[in-house]
Protein backbone atom coordinates (compact mmCIF):
# COMPACT_ATOMS: atom_id res chain seq x y z
CA UNK A 1 0.00 0.00 0.00
CA UNK A 2 1.15 3.53 -0.80
CA UNK A 3 2.56 5.02 2.44
CA UNK A 4 0.32 8.13 2.32
CA UNK A 5 -2.73 5.88 2.49
CA UNK A 6 -2.08 5.09 6.13
CA UNK A 7 -3.16 8.64 6.97
CA UNK A 8 -6.21 8.65 4.69
CA UNK A 9 -9.34 9.61 6.64
CA UNK A 10 -12.70 8.35 5.36
CA UNK A 11 -15.45 10.71 4.30
CA UNK A 12 -18.29 10.40 6.80
CA UNK A 13 -21.57 12.12 7.66
CA UNK A 14 -21.26 15.38 9.65
CA UNK A 15 -22.10 15.14 13.36
CA UNK A 16 -22.86 17.69 16.07
CA UNK A 17 -20.74 17.43 19.20
CA UNK A 18 -21.77 20.65 20.96
CA UNK A 19 -24.95 21.41 22.90
CA UNK A 20 -27.52 22.91 20.57
CA UNK A 21 -31.01 24.29 20.84
CA UNK A 22 -33.53 21.60 19.98
CA UNK A 23 -37.04 20.32 20.56
CA UNK A 24 -37.43 16.89 22.19
CA UNK A 25 -39.80 14.48 20.47
CA UNK A 26 -41.64 11.92 22.62
CA UNK A 27 -44.41 9.54 21.54
CA UNK A 28 -47.08 12.02 22.65
CA UNK A 29 -45.49 15.06 20.94
CA UNK A 30 -47.59 16.46 18.11
CA UNK A 31 -45.97 15.17 14.89
CA UNK A 32 -47.39 17.91 12.68
CA UNK A 33 -46.08 20.62 15.01
CA UNK A 34 -42.63 18.99 15.13
CA UNK A 35 -42.55 18.88 11.33
CA UNK A 36 -43.48 22.56 11.10
CA UNK A 37 -40.58 23.35 13.45
CA UNK A 38 -38.17 21.39 11.26
CA UNK A 39 -39.35 23.23 8.15
CA UNK A 40 -38.91 26.53 10.01
CA UNK A 41 -35.29 25.66 10.84
CA UNK A 42 -35.39 24.09 14.33
CA UNK A 43 -33.68 20.81 15.25
CA UNK A 44 -35.91 18.04 16.59
CA UNK A 45 -34.42 15.21 18.64
CA UNK A 46 -36.03 11.73 18.56
CA UNK A 47 -36.10 10.66 22.22
CA UNK A 48 -37.88 7.32 22.47
CA UNK A 49 -38.23 4.90 19.59
CA UNK A 50 -36.28 4.63 16.34
CA UNK A 51 -39.63 4.22 14.58
CA UNK A 52 -40.67 7.71 15.78
CA UNK A 53 -38.02 9.06 13.42
CA UNK A 54 -39.59 7.17 10.50
CA UNK A 55 -43.02 8.49 11.48
CA UNK A 56 -41.76 12.10 11.52
CA UNK A 57 -40.09 11.76 8.12
CA UNK A 58 -43.30 10.30 6.64
CA UNK A 59 -45.24 13.28 8.01
CA UNK A 60 -42.62 15.70 6.64
CA UNK A 61 -43.05 14.15 3.19
CA UNK A 62 -46.85 14.47 3.38
CA UNK A 63 -46.61 18.09 4.51
CA UNK A 64 -44.16 19.14 1.80
CA UNK A 65 -46.17 17.40 -0.93
CA UNK A 66 -49.04 19.77 -0.15
CA UNK A 67 -46.78 22.66 -1.21
CA UNK A 68 -44.81 20.94 -3.97
CA UNK A 69 -47.50 19.72 -6.34
CA UNK A 70 -45.56 20.21 -9.61
CA UNK A 71 -44.81 16.73 -10.91
CA UNK A 72 -42.41 17.97 -13.58
CA UNK A 73 -38.66 17.59 -13.29
CA UNK A 74 -37.93 20.98 -11.65
CA UNK A 75 -40.87 20.67 -9.27
CA UNK A 76 -39.70 17.24 -8.13
CA UNK A 77 -36.19 18.55 -7.70
CA UNK A 78 -37.42 21.43 -5.54
CA UNK A 79 -39.42 18.99 -3.43
CA UNK A 80 -36.40 16.73 -2.92
CA UNK A 81 -34.19 19.63 -1.98
CA UNK A 82 -36.75 20.98 0.57
CA UNK A 83 -37.14 17.47 2.02
CA UNK A 84 -33.39 17.01 2.26
CA UNK A 85 -32.91 20.30 4.05
CA UNK A 86 -35.70 19.85 6.60
CA UNK A 87 -35.12 16.12 7.20
CA UNK A 88 -31.53 16.74 8.24
CA UNK A 89 -32.88 18.76 11.16
CA UNK A 90 -34.24 15.55 12.63
CA UNK A 91 -31.57 14.26 14.97
CA UNK A 92 -30.79 11.18 17.01
CA UNK A 93 -28.33 10.97 19.84
CA UNK A 94 -25.34 8.64 19.87
CA UNK A 95 -23.74 7.65 23.19
CA UNK A 96 -20.80 5.29 23.41
CA UNK A 97 -20.99 4.84 19.60
CA UNK A 98 -24.57 3.53 19.85
CA UNK A 99 -27.95 5.04 19.04
CA UNK A 100 -29.74 6.01 22.26
CA UNK A 101 -33.29 5.53 20.99
CA UNK A 102 -34.99 2.19 21.63
CA UNK A 103 -35.42 -0.53 19.00
CA UNK A 104 -32.66 1.04 16.93
CA UNK A 105 -30.43 -0.93 14.59
CA UNK A 106 -26.83 -1.61 15.56
CA UNK A 107 -24.64 0.36 13.17
CA UNK A 108 -20.93 -0.41 13.33
CA UNK A 109 -20.03 2.68 11.26
CA UNK A 110 -20.79 4.81 14.34
CA UNK A 111 -17.63 3.37 15.85
CA UNK A 112 -15.54 2.74 12.72
CA UNK A 113 -16.02 6.21 11.25
CA UNK A 114 -15.81 8.21 14.52
CA UNK A 115 -13.00 6.66 16.56
CA UNK A 116 -12.17 9.98 18.25
CA UNK A 117 -15.69 10.83 19.49
CA UNK A 118 -18.28 8.53 21.04
CA UNK A 119 -21.12 10.94 21.93
CA UNK A 120 -22.80 13.17 19.35
CA UNK A 121 -25.95 14.03 17.45
CA UNK A 122 -26.39 12.88 13.87
CA UNK A 123 -29.25 13.43 11.45
CA UNK A 124 -31.82 10.68 11.02
CA UNK A 125 -31.41 10.39 7.21
CA UNK A 126 -27.65 9.95 7.67
CA UNK A 127 -28.38 7.20 10.18
CA UNK A 128 -30.66 5.51 7.65
CA UNK A 129 -27.87 5.69 5.05
CA UNK A 130 -25.30 4.31 7.49
CA UNK A 131 -27.68 1.54 8.52
CA UNK A 132 -28.23 0.37 4.98
CA UNK A 133 -24.48 0.57 4.19
CA UNK A 134 -23.72 -1.41 7.37
CA UNK A 135 -26.16 -4.18 6.37
CA UNK A 136 -24.46 -4.52 2.97
CA UNK A 137 -21.02 -4.45 4.56
CA UNK A 138 -21.85 -7.13 7.15
CA UNK A 139 -23.82 -9.41 4.87
CA UNK A 140 -21.63 -8.88 1.81
CA UNK A 141 -22.50 -8.98 -1.87
CA UNK A 142 -22.04 -12.42 -3.27
CA UNK A 143 -20.90 -12.55 -6.88
CA UNK A 144 -21.65 -16.25 -7.29
CA UNK A 145 -20.23 -16.72 -10.78
CA UNK A 146 -16.85 -15.44 -9.61
CA UNK A 147 -16.85 -17.02 -6.16
CA UNK A 148 -16.26 -13.64 -4.53
CA UNK A 149 -18.18 -11.92 -1.75
CA UNK A 150 -17.52 -8.19 -1.51
CA UNK A 151 -17.82 -6.18 1.71
CA UNK A 152 -18.09 -2.58 0.50
CA UNK A 153 -16.89 0.15 2.85
CA UNK A 154 -19.24 3.01 3.78
CA UNK A 155 -19.78 5.43 0.88
CA UNK A 156 -18.35 3.14 -1.78
CA UNK A 157 -19.96 2.07 -5.05
CA UNK A 158 -20.69 -1.63 -5.34
CA UNK A 159 -22.31 -3.61 -8.15
CA UNK A 160 -25.84 -4.94 -7.70
CA UNK A 161 -26.01 -6.47 -11.19
CA UNK A 162 -23.20 -8.58 -12.45
CA UNK A 163 -23.54 -8.79 -16.23
CA UNK A 164 -20.56 -6.53 -16.88
CA UNK A 165 -18.45 -8.63 -14.51
CA UNK A 166 -19.40 -11.73 -16.49
CA UNK A 167 -18.31 -9.99 -19.71
CA UNK A 168 -14.98 -9.03 -18.15
CA UNK A 169 -14.49 -12.57 -16.85
CA UNK A 170 -15.16 -13.97 -20.30
CA UNK A 171 -12.56 -11.63 -21.81
CA UNK A 172 -9.99 -12.37 -19.08
CA UNK A 173 -10.32 -16.12 -19.66
CA UNK A 174 -9.40 -15.62 -23.33
CA UNK A 175 -6.66 -13.05 -22.79
CA UNK A 176 -3.24 -14.41 -23.80
CA UNK A 177 -0.97 -11.35 -23.38
CA UNK A 178 1.42 -10.46 -20.58
CA UNK A 179 -0.03 -10.43 -17.06
CA UNK A 180 2.80 -8.54 -15.42
CA UNK A 181 1.19 -5.13 -14.88
CA UNK A 182 -2.34 -3.81 -14.85
CA UNK A 183 -3.95 -0.52 -13.88
CA UNK A 184 -7.50 -0.14 -12.65
CA UNK A 185 -8.99 3.35 -12.69
CA UNK A 186 -11.97 3.75 -10.33
CA UNK A 187 -11.48 0.63 -8.21
CA UNK A 188 -14.71 1.14 -6.17
CA UNK A 189 -15.20 -1.91 -3.97
CA UNK A 190 -12.42 -3.76 -5.78
CA UNK A 191 -14.21 -6.34 -7.88
CA UNK A 192 -12.40 -5.81 -11.21
CA UNK A 193 -8.98 -5.79 -9.55
CA UNK A 194 -9.89 -9.01 -7.74
CA UNK A 195 -10.89 -10.55 -11.07
CA UNK A 196 -7.52 -9.51 -12.52
CA UNK A 197 -5.70 -11.13 -9.59
CA UNK A 198 -7.80 -14.30 -9.81
CA UNK A 199 -6.83 -14.52 -13.46
CA UNK A 200 -3.12 -14.34 -12.80
CA UNK A 201 -2.22 -10.65 -13.03
CA UNK A 202 0.73 -9.99 -10.77
CA UNK A 203 0.92 -6.24 -10.07
CA UNK A 204 -2.08 -3.98 -10.09
CA UNK A 205 -2.07 -0.24 -9.60
CA UNK A 206 -5.62 0.56 -8.46
CA UNK A 207 -6.86 4.06 -7.86
CA UNK A 208 -9.99 6.07 -7.08
CA UNK A 209 -10.98 9.65 -6.29
CA UNK A 210 -13.13 8.31 -3.46
CA UNK A 211 -11.05 7.92 -0.27
CA UNK A 212 -13.50 5.43 1.22
CA UNK A 213 -13.08 3.13 -1.78
CA UNK A 214 -9.33 3.02 -1.23
CA UNK A 215 -9.67 2.41 2.51
CA UNK A 216 -12.23 -0.34 1.87
CA UNK A 217 -10.22 -2.11 -0.83
CA UNK A 218 -7.13 -2.01 1.42
CA UNK A 219 -9.15 -3.93 4.06
CA UNK A 220 -10.52 -6.33 1.49
CA UNK A 221 -7.04 -7.09 0.12
CA UNK A 222 -5.93 -7.99 3.62
CA UNK A 223 -8.93 -10.30 4.07
CA UNK A 224 -8.41 -11.97 0.70
CA UNK A 225 -4.61 -12.19 0.93
CA UNK A 226 -4.11 -9.95 -2.12
CA UNK A 227 -1.95 -7.30 -0.46
CA UNK A 228 1.16 -8.35 -2.37
CA UNK A 229 -0.59 -7.94 -5.73
CA UNK A 230 -1.98 -4.47 -5.43
CA UNK A 231 -0.78 -0.88 -5.00
CA UNK A 232 -3.59 1.40 -3.95
CA UNK A 233 -3.69 5.09 -4.68
CA UNK A 234 -6.06 7.93 -3.91
CA UNK A 235 -6.18 10.35 -6.82
CA UNK A 236 -7.69 11.51 -10.07
CA UNK A 237 -7.26 9.15 -13.05
CA UNK A 238 -3.53 8.35 -13.50
CA UNK A 239 -2.28 10.78 -10.84
CA UNK A 240 0.86 9.34 -9.07
CA UNK A 241 0.99 6.45 -11.53
CA UNK A 242 4.27 5.77 -13.29
CA UNK A 243 3.32 2.32 -14.52
CA UNK A 244 3.10 1.25 -18.15
CA UNK A 245 0.49 -1.48 -18.13
CA UNK A 246 -0.35 -4.55 -20.17
CA UNK A 247 -4.01 -3.94 -19.34
CA UNK A 248 -5.81 -0.82 -18.16
CA UNK A 249 -9.38 -1.37 -17.01
CA UNK A 250 -12.01 1.26 -16.21
CA UNK A 251 -15.68 0.80 -15.40
CA UNK A 252 -16.49 4.51 -15.47
CA UNK A 253 -19.64 6.34 -14.47
CA UNK A 254 -22.23 5.82 -17.19
CA UNK A 255 -24.25 9.05 -17.20
CA UNK A 256 -23.26 12.56 -18.21
CA UNK A 257 -23.80 14.93 -15.27
CA UNK A 258 -26.09 17.91 -15.65
CA UNK A 259 -25.19 19.10 -12.15
CA UNK A 260 -22.00 19.94 -10.29
CA UNK A 261 -20.57 16.68 -9.03
CA UNK A 262 -20.06 16.00 -5.35
CA UNK A 263 -17.23 13.83 -4.05
CA UNK A 264 -18.07 10.20 -3.27
CA UNK A 265 -20.88 8.14 -4.78
CA UNK A 266 -22.02 10.88 -7.16
CA UNK A 267 -18.81 10.36 -9.14
CA UNK A 268 -19.51 6.65 -9.48
CA UNK A 269 -22.73 7.33 -11.39
CA UNK A 270 -22.16 10.62 -13.24
CA UNK A 271 -19.23 11.99 -15.21
CA UNK A 272 -18.17 15.47 -16.21
CA UNK A 273 -17.77 16.09 -19.94
CA UNK A 274 -13.99 16.29 -19.71
CA UNK A 275 -13.54 12.94 -17.91
CA UNK A 276 -13.31 10.75 -21.01
CA UNK A 277 -11.02 12.99 -23.14
CA UNK A 278 -8.70 13.31 -20.13
CA UNK A 279 -8.85 9.57 -19.50
CA UNK A 280 -8.00 8.57 -23.09
CA UNK A 281 -5.19 11.09 -23.34
CA UNK A 282 -3.55 9.83 -20.15
CA UNK A 283 -4.30 6.15 -20.81
CA UNK A 284 -2.27 6.27 -24.00
CA UNK A 285 0.80 7.30 -22.01
CA UNK A 286 0.33 4.46 -19.51
CA UNK A 287 -0.21 1.61 -21.94
CA UNK A 288 2.57 -0.71 -23.08
CA UNK A 289 2.91 -0.90 -26.90
CA UNK A 290 1.04 -4.22 -26.97
CA UNK A 291 -1.26 -3.14 -24.14
CA UNK A 292 -5.06 -3.28 -24.06
CA UNK A 293 -7.50 -0.72 -22.76
CA UNK A 294 -10.64 -2.37 -21.44
CA UNK A 295 -13.72 -0.28 -20.74
CA UNK A 296 -16.95 -1.55 -19.27
CA UNK A 297 -19.85 0.61 -20.29
CA UNK A 298 -23.58 0.61 -20.90
CA UNK A 299 -26.11 2.05 -23.31
CA UNK A 300 -28.10 3.33 -20.30
CA UNK A 301 -27.67 7.00 -21.34
CA UNK A 302 -29.05 6.17 -24.82
CA UNK A 303 -31.93 4.20 -23.30
CA UNK A 304 -32.90 7.30 -21.29
CA UNK A 305 -32.31 9.72 -24.18
CA UNK A 306 -31.42 8.31 -27.59
CA UNK A 307 -29.61 11.52 -28.58
CA UNK A 308 -27.06 11.11 -25.78
CA UNK A 309 -23.45 10.93 -26.84
CA UNK A 310 -21.42 7.76 -26.29
CA UNK A 311 -17.97 8.83 -25.04
CA UNK A 312 -16.13 5.72 -26.32
CA UNK A 313 -17.59 5.98 -29.81
CA UNK A 314 -16.76 9.70 -29.78
CA UNK A 315 -13.15 8.91 -28.86
CA UNK A 316 -12.84 6.43 -31.73
CA UNK A 317 -14.43 8.83 -34.22
CA UNK A 318 -12.71 12.04 -33.20
CA UNK A 319 -9.19 11.01 -32.27
CA UNK A 320 -6.54 8.98 -33.90
CA UNK A 321 -5.22 7.38 -30.72
CA UNK A 322 -6.90 4.00 -30.38
CA UNK A 323 -8.36 1.36 -32.60
CA UNK A 324 -11.26 -0.87 -31.59
CA UNK A 325 -10.27 -4.49 -31.10
CA UNK A 326 -13.43 -5.84 -29.59
CA UNK A 327 -16.91 -4.73 -28.63
CA UNK A 328 -19.08 -7.21 -26.72
CA UNK A 329 -22.63 -6.52 -25.57
CA UNK A 330 -24.87 -8.35 -23.17
CA UNK A 331 -28.45 -7.86 -22.00
CA UNK A 332 -28.81 -6.70 -18.45
CA UNK A 333 -30.73 -9.30 -16.52
CA UNK A 334 -33.28 -8.34 -13.88
CA UNK A 335 -31.80 -8.03 -10.41
CA UNK A 336 -34.12 -10.80 -9.26
CA UNK A 337 -35.22 -13.74 -11.38
CA UNK A 338 -38.74 -13.38 -10.03
CA UNK A 339 -39.19 -9.79 -11.21
CA UNK A 340 -40.05 -9.43 -14.86
CA UNK A 341 -38.47 -6.35 -16.37
CA UNK A 342 -41.10 -3.87 -17.45
CA UNK A 343 -39.20 -0.65 -16.82
CA UNK A 344 -37.32 1.56 -19.29
CA UNK A 345 -34.14 -0.34 -18.48
CA UNK A 346 -35.52 -3.34 -20.34
CA UNK A 347 -33.40 -2.46 -23.38
CA UNK A 348 -30.30 -1.86 -21.35
CA UNK A 349 -27.13 -3.60 -22.44
CA UNK A 350 -23.72 -3.66 -20.84
CA UNK A 351 -20.73 -3.30 -23.10
CA UNK A 352 -17.11 -4.35 -23.00
CA UNK A 353 -14.76 -2.41 -25.23
CA UNK A 354 -11.17 -3.38 -25.91
CA UNK A 355 -9.06 -0.67 -27.51
CA UNK A 356 -5.43 -0.86 -28.55
CA UNK A 357 -3.11 2.08 -29.22
CA UNK A 358 -2.66 2.88 -32.89
CA UNK A 359 0.87 1.91 -33.72
CA UNK A 360 2.24 5.35 -34.46
CA UNK A 361 1.08 6.55 -31.03
CA UNK A 362 2.33 3.67 -28.94
CA UNK A 363 5.04 4.91 -26.64
CA UNK A 364 7.89 2.53 -26.02
C1 LIG B 1 -19.09 2.71 -11.75
S2 LIG B 1 -17.93 2.77 -10.44
C3 LIG B 1 -17.03 1.28 -10.74
C4 LIG B 1 -16.41 0.68 -9.49
C5 LIG B 1 -15.77 -0.71 -9.67
N6 LIG B 1 -14.63 -0.65 -10.54
C7 LIG B 1 -16.79 -1.69 -10.21
O8 LIG B 1 -16.69 -2.06 -11.39
O9 LIG B 1 -17.72 -2.07 -9.47
C10 LIG B 1 -16.82 4.05 -10.99
C11 LIG B 1 -15.69 4.36 -10.02
O12 LIG B 1 -14.83 5.33 -10.62
C13 LIG B 1 -14.44 6.28 -9.64
N14 LIG B 1 -14.05 7.52 -10.36
C15 LIG B 1 -14.85 8.45 -10.94
N16 LIG B 1 -14.11 9.43 -11.48
C17 LIG B 1 -12.80 9.12 -11.25
C18 LIG B 1 -11.57 9.75 -11.58
N19 LIG B 1 -11.53 10.91 -12.22
N20 LIG B 1 -10.41 9.14 -11.18
C21 LIG B 1 -10.44 7.96 -10.50
N22 LIG B 1 -11.59 7.32 -10.16
C23 LIG B 1 -12.75 7.90 -10.54
C24 LIG B 1 -15.67 6.42 -8.76
O25 LIG B 1 -15.36 6.96 -7.50
C26 LIG B 1 -16.13 4.96 -8.69
O27 LIG B 1 -15.55 4.26 -7.63
| Tens of pLDDT, residues 23-67 | 999 999 999 999 999 999 999 999 999 999 999 999 999 999 988
Distance in Å, CA 92 to ligand 1 centroid: 32
pLDDT classification of 2: cutoffs 50, 70, 90: low
- pLDDT greater than 50 at residue 93: yes
Distance in Å, CA 274 to ligand 1 centroid: 15
Distance in Å, CA 213 to ligand 1 centroid: 9
Report whether residue 253 contacts ligand 1, using a CB cutoff of 6 Å: yes
pLDDT classification of 361: cutoffs 50, 70, 90: very low
Domain ranges of the chain: 3-137, 141-361
The Cα–Cα gap between 224 and 249 comes to 21
Residues pairing with 349 in the sheet: 331
Query: pLDDT averaged over the chain?
Result: 92
Q: Beta-strand (E) ranges in 60-125? A: 90-95, 98-99, 120-123
Counting from 1 in the atom list of ligand 1, the atom nearest the Cα of 158 is: 9
Report whether residue 208 contacts ligand 1, using a CB cutoff of 6 Å: yes
Class of domain 141-361: alpha beta
CA angle 340, 342, 347 (to 5 degrees): 105
Looking at residue 145, its pLDDT comes to 80
| Tens of pLDDT, residues 309-341 | 899 999 999 999 999 999 999 888 765 444 454
- pLDDT greater than 60 at residue 364: no
Distance in Å, CA 318 to ligand 1 centroid: 24
Report whether residue 192 contacts ligand 1, using a CB cutoff of 6 Å: yes
Q: What is the edge-to-edge ordering of all strands in the sheet holding 245-250? A: 230-234, 203-208, 181-185, 245-250, 287-298, 349-357, 322-331
Report whether residue 47 contacts ligand 1, using a CB cutoff of 6 Å: no
The Cα–Cα gap between 61 and 58 comes to 5
Percent of the chain at pLDDT > 70 equals 94
Three-state SS annotation for 78-95: HHHHHHHHHHCCEEEEEE
Amino acid sequence: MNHDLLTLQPDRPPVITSEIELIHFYHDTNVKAAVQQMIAGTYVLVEELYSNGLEILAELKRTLLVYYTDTKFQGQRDFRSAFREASHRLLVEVKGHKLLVKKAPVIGWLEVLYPEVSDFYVSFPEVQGMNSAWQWYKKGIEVKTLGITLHPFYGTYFPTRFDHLTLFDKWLKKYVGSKEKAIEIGVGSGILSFQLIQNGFKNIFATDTNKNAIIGVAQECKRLGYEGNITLNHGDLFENCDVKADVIVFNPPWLLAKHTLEEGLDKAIYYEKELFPRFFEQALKHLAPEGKLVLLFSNLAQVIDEKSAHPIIEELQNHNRFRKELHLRRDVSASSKKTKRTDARENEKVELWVLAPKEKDALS
